[in-house]
Amino acid sequence: MCPAADPSAAAPAPPRTAVTRESVLDAALTLFAERGYHGTPLSEIAAALGIRTPSLYNHMGSKQDLLETILTRTLDDVLDGFADAVDGLGTPAEKLHAATRVYALRHATHRREALVVNRDAGGLDEPDRSRIRDRRREHERAVRAIIADGVRAGEFQVGDPALASFAILEMSVSIARWFRDDGPRTAAQVADEFAGYALRIVRYRP
């Protein structure tokens, strides 16, 4: 209707910095997070980088490969972050607090990655889809185990550790959907608050 003012040409000025595999992944990450994997044509990724679509193939194997790389890296970071956060901690309460804090913080500081994981993981072809899904379950199971430990130790009171872990994990994931860098709260403030919510959900009383 109005081709002179195309609203999908979101990138205002093609930056003439060097295009690398990393800059392609970064542009793809931004656009996948905004419009979804299926809603993002390669032509828009190219336009954001100031190059033509076929030139993207100097930096990637395929559009799927872009998604797969983004998801694999993101899940690796989440699992590493979890391991680092709980390492050396003693009680289930300490572990649950630290695990929730780092998970919540990650979702405030890596919003694009979280949005793509939650929206487009199903867009992968097998066997990558199963691999990614198993990685997510690994993290879920680890958090559930902490809660179950806390229940056994008499530290927590929940009817079902699986339900509580879903609630804690998913409220943290949602931070990616509403957090703004220029908002009234810092990422660290939100993460601390949510870590506190996690302990409340499992009825931990210090």
Task: Kindly list the residues in this chain that would bind DNA in the complex (CB under 7 A).
Answer: 18-19, 40-43, 51-55, 57-59, 62-64
Chosen from a second copy, DNA, none, partner binding at 73 (C-beta under 5 to 8 Å by type): none
**Alpha-carbon distance 186 to 109, whole Å?**
10
| Nearest to 72, CA basis, from 133, 24, 21, 2 | 133
Long-range contacts of 76-81 (CB under 8 A, 24+ apart): 76/135, 77/106, 77/110, 77/113, 78/103, 78/106, 78/139, 79/135, 79/138, 79/139, 81/106
- Residue 138 as a binder of a second copy (CB under 8 A): the answer is no
Q: Which of 114, 124, 168, 187 binds a second copy (CB under 8 A)?
A: 168
Smallest distance from a second copy to CB 79, Å: 19
The Cα-based distances of 36 to 80, 89, 181 in angstroms read 26, 38, 21
Q: Given the complex with a second copy, which of 19 and 139 has the nearer CB atom?
A: 139
Q: x/- binding map, residues 116-135, to a second copy, per CB under 8 A? A: ---xx-xx------------
Q: Given the complex with a second copy, which of 132 and 190 has the nearer CB atom?
A: 190
- Residue 142 as a binder of a second copy (CB under 8 A): the answer is no
- Residue 39 as a binder of a second copy (CB under 8 A): the answer is yes
